[in-house]
Amino acid sequence: MTASKPLAATPPMGWNSWNMFGSAVNEAAIRETADAIVASDLKACGYEYIVIDDCWSKKVGRDANGDLVPDPHKFPSGMKALADYVHSLGLKIGIYSDAADRTCASYPGSYGFEEQDAQLWASWGMDFLKYDYCNAPTDQMTAIDRYGRMGEALRNTGREFLFSLCEWGGRSPQLWGRNVGGHVWRVSGDVFDSWVNIWVPHGPGYYGVGIDVSLDIADNLHEYAGPGGWNDLDMLVVGLKGKGQISGGGLSFIEYQTHMSVWCMACSPLMIGCDVRALDQETAALLMNREVLAVNQDPLGKPARRVKQAGPCEVWKKPLADGSVAVALLNRGATGSDVSVRAGDIGLLDQPKLVRNLWKHEDIAEFKEELVQRVQPHETLLLRISS
């Protein structure tokens, strides 16, 4: 018998419905997405979980037995049939709820129904739960209690669930997420398709997080993540190009590449948010560069940290299992700049080292003491340096 891989030994990879479909999520979209994940090679690259986010159930409430009911217009074949289909493709499927009476979009939540809902999702064959925190009390103790109840309910089903906490980082889930059974915990509000934070006027009004701000969050929390428990920087906005729920106008190719580079360096889950049924070449290249994905999935599971800052330019370092290091040279400023890395900055000795550009699949240089590279505004060069 082969031992199965422990859950979330490396950051989870997959796709989530929210960014693209929002409340319009439906069975056809999920099936077509699953098909596209197989056909496009995303599956072969490791994207595995297909997660149905908010708005999947009947909004009015539970049935006479107190069960959540999938919206029959959106999911006419029901969730069990959908899960069976996704499983038949060799993929896994996830569902969403909230630790209060109502979800963020005001659909029924699971507070007080943890056991019943977990049993129902298990009976459908769900493999993943994203558990949100809208409409719940803001203090940390209540959050620990409510996530703990759901963590226990999931365990009691006897089915393996990847448990994704989504309280946006406000109650320091990096400190207690593992204890409540969590495998990933969001560390920010919703990331928008924007370089800077943007004000989102609808609903109660809130700030959408820009990629530039996520970089600092990732650096601040790097020490808390590792195999089995990861800082979740939120779903990817790669490929949205201004479409979907969280439009901030879209990013340039270079900015999407920086976004992907940092999510990989930080060991964030990689949950695609764009419409994979219509993948353009640029987006496919960003999502399926195996050398870049290998940085995210490296078995050592050590998130990157910033080791050097010079004005708007930064150097980040991530140790890898084979003794080499992944190094990101980032330029957050508005003009192109030469960025220098000295061997000591990345903890390497002054001996010859080979530098590979991972996005380009090219060995670019050898250096002993100092490497200097030109980095364009908002660009990240992602390198692997080995002695």
Residues near ligand GLA (CB under 6 A) are 18, 53-54, 103-105, 132, 166, 190
Residues 6+ apart with CB under 8 A from 18: 25, 53, 54, 235, 245, 246, 273
**Residue number with CB closer to ligand GLA (221 or 348):** 221
Q: How far is the CB of 131 from ligand GLA (least distance, A)?
A: 10
Q: Shortest approach of ligand GLA to residue 119 CB, angstroms?
A: 23
Identify which of residues 166 and 180 has a Cβ nearer to ligand GLA in the complex: 166
| Minimum CB distance to ligand GLA smaller for 199 or for 352 | 199
Q: Look at residue 298 and give its three-state secondary structure.
A: coil
CB of 56 to ligand GLA, least distance (A): 11
DSSP 71-117: -TTT-TTHHHHHHHHHHHTT-EEEEEEESSSB-TTS-B--TT-HHHH
Buried b (16+ CB within 10 A) or exposed e, 358-377: bbeeeeeeebeeebebebee
Alpha carbon distance 385, 328 (integer Å)? 10
CB of 187 to ligand GLA, least distance (A): 11
CA distance 40 to 38: 6
Q: How far is the CB of 121 from ligand GLA (least distance, A)?
A: 16
Identify which of residues 54 and 379 has a Cβ nearer to ligand GLA in the complex.
Answer: 54
N- to C-terminal Cα separation, the chain: 38
Question: Catalytic amino acids?
Answer: 132, 190
DSSP label of 344: G
Alpha-carbon distance of 185 to 26, in angstroms, equals 26
Closest residue to bound ligand GLA by CB: 104
Output 132 or 212, the one with its CB closest to ligand GLA. Answer: 132
